[in-house]
Amino acid sequence: MVLGRLKQIGGIWGAVIVLYIVSGLLSPATLNPSHVLDVLQVASILGIAAVGQTFVILTSGIDLSVAGIITLANVVASGVMDGNNALILPGLAIICALGAAAGTINGLLVTRVHITPLIVTLAMNSVLFGAALLYSHGAPHGAIPPALQVIGQGRVVHVPVSAILWIMLTITAALVTRRTIFGRQLYAVGANPRAAHATGLPVDRTIVLAYVANGLLSALAGLILTAYIGLPSLGIGDPYQLSSVAAVVIGGTALTGGVGSVIASAGGALFITQLNSLTNMLQMSTGTQFVIQGAVIAAGMALSMIRARMRARVPRESRAPAAPVRHVP
């Protein structure tokens, strides 16, 4: 089991190392320590969003409202705090409440109304973007207080504060998914929701909590992005709508659920960010960048689906014996 997890995690991190070697050959400046730290700073925002997305995809769901949550967090945080340090706590409370509310509604619509996650979250993304437009009247205003800018721009011994937060959150999420009852429930629900329900697991609650966690982490990613940029901007979350999913899938998490790791998702986020950085440093045209990035992401997703099919073809006798199922009347 441990060897299997190491193989799953090591694949994407091996790809990250290879990408850095190729980057160094094509553009030696990419290996400069300051550039590596800059990449970590940018990757931390996608990485935090990918942590939340991993929770959802582990349940065989998907959340395309990440962009809307990030955008709304950006606009509301700037407007509420308006550069005033005294308004940081109220602003943080509002942002967390918005993220949790969006996640709760997504989860309830998926579990109670039985609407496909793709449709639910895509609709929620439109609602959140519309809310950002209504709140800002189409012209976002305000700024992030100086005391809060440290999480987006500050450094500790040259290491970006945002990267430190990302690492801490990733380690915490890894412990939650692997060492807690909730984490085991995530994998069980994603692997086989009917069997999970038959054994008495709280399937609906687990799915709702996964979406709530993603909403909170997406709001946090939006807050860090705002602290990094310093100003509000409509549509600032758009690049993270599909890239958060791509980072998770490239990291090896199966879209069918039940298989994956937040550590591997962190590798996927770093891979995508470094790839974007390399294409920018090589001064490729925007069209070429989109072609390369899209091709790599599609290849990563294809490999993930191939791995999922190979796992499905493993003979039953070679698998670990299944736990006894308790039938619920």
Q: How far apart, in Å, do the first and last CA atoms of the chain sit?
A: 33
- Average pLDDT (40-69) is 96
The answer to whether the beta carbons of residues 326 and 200 sit under 8 Å apart is yes
The answer to whether the beta carbons of residues 190 and 258 sit under 8 Å apart is yes
Using DSSP's 3-state secondary structure scheme, residue 256 falls into coil
Average pLDDT, the chain: 88
Domain ranges for the chain: 7-310
* Residue 308, H or E segment: helix 286-312
The secondary structure of 35-59 as a DSSP string is HHHHHHHHHHHHHHHHHHHHHHHHT
- Condensed to tens digits (0 to 9), the pLDDT of residues 176-229 reads 999 999 999 999 999 999 999 999 999 999 999 999 999 999 999 999 999 999
- Condensed to tens digits (0 to 9), the pLDDT of residues 233-279 reads 998 999 998 899 989 988 888 888 898 999 999 999 999 999 988 88
Report the predicted TM-score, pTM, of the whole model to 2 decimal places: 0.89
Would you place residue 326 in the very low, low, confident or very high pLDDT band (cuts 50, 70, 90)? very low
Residue count (the chain): 329
Q: How far is CA 67 from CA 53, 124, 210, 219, in A?
A: 12, 10, 17, 10
Structure confidence at residue 314 (pLDDT): 56
The answer to whether the beta carbons of residues 196 and 111 sit under 8 Å apart is no
- CATH 4.10.240 for domain 7-310, yes or no, is no
How many helices, marked H, and strands, marked E, lie in the chain? 13, 2
Q: E strands within 146-209?
A: 155-156, 159-160
Biggest alpha carbon–alpha carbon distance for the chain: 65
